[in-house]
A and B are shown apart, each in its own frame.
Chain A
Amino acid sequence: MLDGGFGGPFLNAIGMECVYPENYGTVCAAAGKAQPYLERSAAEGFPDHLCGYARNCFGYTASMADVGQIPPDAPSGGMPKPVMLLASGMVCDARFKWFQALGSYLDAPVWTLESPRPGAREGLTEGAYERDVAFLVKGLREFGGFLEKLLGKKIDWAKFEEEVDTTIAMNKLWYNINQLRKARPGPMHSRDFWSSMSGSTLSTMDPKAVTALYLKMYDEVKERVDKGISGIGAPEKYRLTFIGLPPWHSLGFFDKLAERGWNFVIEQTYHPPKPIDLSWVKDPVEKVVRYRFQSLAHQIEDTFSPKEAEEVKQEILKQGYSPRMALREAMEYQCDGAMLHTLLTCRGTTAPLFLSQNQLMDVWNIPSLVIEGDIVDHTLFDPQDALRKAEVFEETMDHYKKVRKEKGLGW
């Protein structure tokens, strides 16, 4: 299970390979093979509004339980029966409810990693961040103990430390590649991002191999920047951000938009944490935590001048939020518009979308286009309808380009 990168180093250091069922959901969706699993999930009694990845996994696992092995028609070789399930509270509650529900089909034990999600104001309360760090460190150590008990062997802590450092370095490289995308024209489209982010987003058994890939990718993207080549194979007319999770079954939809000059230069999800100096942290478990779970205070101080940072903190303490913190990447990547993907099956990413829509307009004068669909179920997405809406939306983006210029926003 996607766990924000907290559990991966433990699994690697004890020699356990990790398979991500949500990633398998994207594979089934992209291959057009998810529908039978979704139908089986419904037949098992799971409501059809639950997470598409989870429903795909329920259908797959129920089918696997029927035949006692990987179903012979499973796309890309299927997923093996797991030794254990690693759940997480990160991003959404589905991540642990889903694995708990798999108990109907698998006898694998489940460990759930906690993932604090403090409110903005509460996160700035004195001592709150350090307490959350200690909470996560303790939880991860307990998880390490669980793994050792389960497998009857010890974690290789030297390997663990090496994994942590290599992964942080790998992610720094990936972060820097994405920084290059600020260039005009944008050298790398979201489709390229989505097809290459898994090395960073999902803990890998071999971060060194992914690093080698990202090094080549950095050079390629840099070359495009230097030569002024856009990532869409056509002149860049509009720069967009994608907010939500993509329709994995219909990524060709973005090619149609690219033909119209739409360049998705940044997306809201799946990005690694911003690199920070952790040389002072000696304990590798604590290093993982401080890298993956960065304090809001630090993020504010890293973004603003000391005077402005203090103002932002006071705003948050007073009213619970600061508009200056809202969706800054849309401004930093000079976006003309945002595409928001509301998903029938994902509350975690869909619930905040309209807040994002309001903030983009109120703070940055960036208009949004809302499309409805799903991550796995292609029957919930109508690409023709979305394309029709997109054509009309171009006039809106043109209008707000003028508005931003009038307001001196710089792009």
Chain B
Amino acid sequence: MTQSKKTSLAAAREIYQDRSSRARELRAQGRQVIGYLCLYPPVEMLTAFGLVPYRLFGDMKEPVTRADTYLPTVVCPFLRSLLDLGLKGKFDFLDGVVMAHTCDVGAQIPGLWNNFVKTPYSYFIDTPHTLHAEARAQEKAELLDFQKSLETLTGKKLAPHKLKEAIEAHNRQRALVRELYDLRKPAPPLITGVEILQTLIAIMSLPVEEGSELLAGVIREVKARSPLPDRKSTRLLVWGPVIHETPLIDMIESLDAYVVMDDTCVGSRAYFTDVKITPDPLDGLADYYLAGIKCPRTFVEKVSGETGKDHASDLETRFSYLSKLAKDWKVDGVILQSVRYCDSHGYEVPAVKEYLSRNGLPGIYLEHDNTRGAMAPLKTRVQGFLEIIGK
């Protein structure tokens, strides 16, 4: 990838704006590009086979038209948009897709994709939902089946050291993202929420080493920056499912606030835990992809099979990482946001709000339909929230 005359932030923004350009270029050079949906397909395995992982997103600018025939309007707008793009041939550069059982509608997408989009290769990982001992073994077996499927696709056997190297490469990238996030800790932060999101979307569109190179460049540039003008008083954390374009963050940051931290699946959830290096690399991967990602799609409990129940302790088990993020990034309030019809997050909302409240953190819940037009009405609510925080 050539970034010679551009700054890294500009390069990231350019990739964000034309996500598939590099993937198309790589494919023209003979690389196979595999799209993956949500956080649960193991990107390390794709990297280990020399495949290019390309995270699948919808497009907030593109009206959903073709997908109306296949998905009712009362399901996740993000997934409807994704399917719509697939039906319109916008993913024609993909050699395959891999999806996992992330949520009810997410689990339906592979069937629709196979029937109507017909990417040459597809695979579905049936990720378990609990952290019971046998679920971990099941996840490992699921990942081994996926590995075998990739061996058939590529005609190559996977050597364990290749997988270990790929895990290390992705862990290095995770460490770089954490380093980038540290640059949001000062007041004012050295980088905006919009810039962070553009950078993360960019690296999810690139092979891991290229993404890490881009990240390192962004970090260098941001460290060398003068501080952002300190004109805003409120530091916010944004929680919820996928935010794959900037309008929401842009809207929030157009007000008297910085988004300094997130708990979303394009943000910290993808990068704040490393895959453990284990003698059998699949053990580390299985543990990470079942227990390491903080998505409400997994049933988390303090101790598997506990016969007593204490609500406060349950909340602490499930959400203590949130208060740590809030403390470390000096957060004043939390915006809980979700695309409409995201049930996994919807069930979580009262509990998260209760937990935040117990920890002295104000929170507001916003729901939207994943279009740019949906942001304007939310602006008034965010303004009101900022006034309530009253900083």
A and B associate = yes
Residues of A whose CB lies within 8 Å of any CB of B are 44-47, 49-51, 54, 87, 89, 92-94, 96-98, 100-101, 103-104, 106-112, 114, 116-122, 125, 128, 131-132, 135, 138-139, 142, 145-146, 149-150, 319-321, 342-344, 347-348, 350-355, 358
| Cβ contacts under 8 Å, B133 to chain A | 142
A119 to B351, CA, bound (A): 32
A101 to B135, CA, bound (A): 22
What are 18 inter-chain pairs, A to B, with CB distance below 8 A? Answer: A49-B341, A89-B130, A100-B299, A104-B351, A108-B309, A109-B309, A114-B138, A117-B101, A121-B114, A121-B124, A122-B123, A139-B134, A347-B74, A347-B75, A347-B76, A351-B75, A351-B104, A355-B112
| Cβ contacts under 8 Å, B125 to chain A | 122
Query: Quick one: closest B residue to A151, CB to CB?
Result: B307
Cβ of B111 < 8 Å from any Cβ of A? yes
A-binding segment of B31-39, B64-72, B154-162, B180-188: B64-72
Contact B114 A320 (CB under 8 A): yes
Contact A116 B126 (CB under 8 A): yes
Contact B103 A46 (CB under 8 A): no
A-binding segment of B45-53, B256-264, B276-284, B342-350: B342-350
Query: Quick one: closest A residue to B102, CB to CB?
Result: A93
Residues of B whose CB lies within 8 Å of any CB of A are 69-72, 74-76, 101, 103-105, 107-108, 110-112, 114-115, 118, 122-126, 128-130, 132-135, 137-138, 141, 145, 148-149, 296-297, 299, 301, 305-311, 314, 338, 340-341, 343-344, 346-351, 353-354, 365, 367
Contact A109 B347 (CB under 8 A): no
| Cβ contacts under 8 Å, A352 to chain B | 108, 111
Known: A50-B347, A122-B124, A354-B72. A114 touches B112 (CB 8 A): no
A110 to B131, CA, bound (A): 13
| Cβ contacts under 8 Å, B108 to chain A | 351-352, 355
| Cβ contacts under 8 Å, A89 to chain B | 128-130
| Cβ contacts under 8 Å, A44 to chain B | 350
How far does the Cβ of B237 sit from chain A's closest Cβ, in whole Å?
18
Contact A344 B74 (CB under 8 A): yes
A47 to B353, CA, bound (A): 13
How far does the Cβ of B317 sit from chain A's closest Cβ, in whole Å?
11
Contact A321 B111 (CB under 8 A): yes
| Cβ contacts under 8 Å, B134 to chain A | 114, 135, 138-139, 142
A146 to B304, CA, bound (A): 10
Contact B309 A96 (CB under 8 A): no
Other-chain contact of A101, B305, B308, B350 (Cβ < 8 Å):
B350
Contact A320 B309 (CB under 8 A): no
A118 to B101, CA, bound (A): 9
Residue of B299, B308, B338 with most chain A CB atoms under a 10 A cut-off: B299
Known: A93-B129, A112-B130. A122 touches B145 (CB 8 A): yes
Contact A46 B74 (CB under 8 A): no
Contact B348 A97 (CB under 8 A): yes
| Cβ contacts under 8 Å, B141 to chain A | 131
Query: Quick one: closest B residue to A115, CB to CB?
Result: B129
A118 to B105, CA, bound (A): 14
Contact A355 B145 (CB under 8 A): no
Known: A114-B130, A354-B71. A104 touches B311 (CB 8 A): yes
Query: Quick one: closest A residue to B346, CB to CB?
Result: A47
| Cβ contacts under 8 Å, B309 to chain A | 103, 106-110
A49 to B349, CA, bound (A): 13
Other-chain contact of B70, A131, A146, A348, A358 (Cβ < 8 Å):
A358
How far does the Cβ of B343 sit from chain A's closest Cβ, in whole Å?
6
Known: A114-B128, A358-B70. A146 touches B347 (CB 8 A): no
How far does the Cβ of A51 sit from chain B's closest Cβ, in whole Å?
7
A120 to B108, CA, bound (A): 12
Contact B107 A117 (CB under 8 A): yes
Contact B301 A110 (CB under 8 A): yes
Contact B130 A109 (CB under 8 A): no
Query: Quick one: closest A residue to B138, CB to CB?
Result: A135
Given contacts A100-B299, A355-B115, 5 further A-B contacts (CB under 8 A): A100-B351, A131-B138, A149-B305, A320-B111, A321-B111
| Cβ contacts under 8 Å, B69 to chain A | 354, 358
| Cβ contacts under 8 Å, A355 to chain B | 70, 108, 111-112, 115
| Cβ contacts under 8 Å, B296 to chain A | 97
The 3 A-B residue pairs with the shortest CB-CB distance in the complex, in nearest-first order: A320-B114, A119-B124, A97-B347
| Cβ contacts under 8 Å, A93 to chain B | 103-104, 129, 297, 343-344
Known: A109-B307, A110-B301. A101 touches B123 (CB 8 A): no
Contact B350 A104 (CB under 8 A): yes
| Cβ contacts under 8 Å, A351 to chain B | 71-72, 75, 104-105, 108
Contact A103 B311 (CB under 8 A): yes
| Cβ contacts under 8 Å, B107 to chain A | 117
Other-chain contact of B305, A87, A118, A125, A146 (Cβ < 8 Å):
A146
A47 to B240, CA, bound (A): 14
Contact A50 B112 (CB under 8 A): no
Query: Quick one: closest A residue to B340, CB to CB?
Result: A49
Contact A92 B104 (CB under 8 A): yes
A111 to B131, CA, bound (A): 11
